[in-house]
Chains A and B, each alone.
Chain A
Amino acid sequence: DAGITQSPRHKVTETGTPVTLRCHQTENHRYMYWYRQDPGHGLRLIHYSYGVKDTDKGEVSDGYSVSRSKTEDFLLTLESATSSQTSVYFCAIRRDRGDTDTQYFGPGTRLTVL
């Protein structure tokens, strides 16, 4: 257990509304990641962070922004949600110590955009 929680776990929203998903970790590791999972696509990286205020884009970053003002929290924002952003969103961390080569995942957030 890597101490990762995601909130909310489920959300239904309407097209054009802003949405923020939260990932929280209890172990204060530097690296955190946001992925989306869609059938037939596996997991695709949206954004990642390598420290407070240090973030970078992944392969599917359009329409998403992130913020990391505290080590323990990594927020994913959809400024204006679209139906194509209906997906399951996973947060992950990579440990700073020990098995630093592995990513550990949170339970996911299922987002539906109507």
Chain B
Amino acid sequence: AQSVTQLDSQVPVFEEAPVELRCNYSSSVSVYLFWYVQYPNQGLQLLLKYLSGSTLVKGINGFEAEFNKSQTSFHLRKPSVHISDTAEYFCAVSLMNRDDKIIFGKGTRLHILP
């Protein structure tokens, strides 16, 4: 069975500082990997995804993530955060060539400090 672990439930960071949100997954087969963002009182929006190819994936709003197969990780990074990045971030995994489910991590709440 697949699982996703987001190691930090909350991450405080000062405005304009860099941030890394950690995600590790477990699967015996190849997977697709996703990061979603949820702004306060809104639905989930796709930030970026890894399907294949280059292990460094760039997404919206200046975020990027790197797929590391040996460490089964897919950490999300941004070099300089803004107050508007305050949100909850979800890492997710789905099986390649499967029709159904995405497994979500429990989320990491990003707090931007002025």
Contact B9 A31 (CB under 8 A): no
Given contacts A101-B32, A102-B34, contact A41 B46 (CB under 8 A): no
A40 CA / B105 CA spacing, docked (Å): 9
- Please encode chain B, from 11 to 52, with 1 for each CB lying within 8 Å of some chain A CB and 0 for all others: 000000000000000000000101010000011111001010
- Please encode chain A, from 68 to 84, with 1 for each CB lying within 8 Å of some chain B CB and 0 for all others: 00000000000000000
A42 CA / B93 CA spacing, docked (Å): 13
Q: Which residues of chain A have C-beta atoms less than 8 A from B32's C-beta?
A: 101
Q: Does B102 contact A (CB under 8 A)?
A: yes
A63 CA / B106 CA spacing, docked (Å): 22
Closest to B103 in A: A45
Count the A residues whose beta carbon is within 8 Å of the partner chain — how many?
20
Q: Does B69 contact A (CB under 8 A)?
A: no
Q: DSSP class of A's interface residues: helix, strand, loop or mixed?
A: strand
Q: Which residues of chain A have C-beta atoms less than 8 A from B106's C-beta?
A: 40-42
Given contacts A101-B49, A102-B34, A106-B43, contact A42 B104 (CB under 8 A): yes
Interface residues of A (CB under 8 A from B): 31, 40-45, 48, 50, 56, 58, 90, 101-108
Ordered by A's residue number, 30 sampled pairs between the chains whose C-beta atoms are within 8 Å are A31-B99, A40-B106, A42-B90, A42-B104, A42-B105, A42-B106, A42-B107, A43-B44, A44-B104, A45-B101, A45-B102, A48-B101, A50-B100, A56-B100, A90-B43, A101-B32, A101-B51, A101-B94, A102-B34, A102-B46, A102-B49, A103-B102, A105-B36, A105-B44, A105-B45, A106-B43, A107-B42, A107-B43, A108-B42, A108-B43
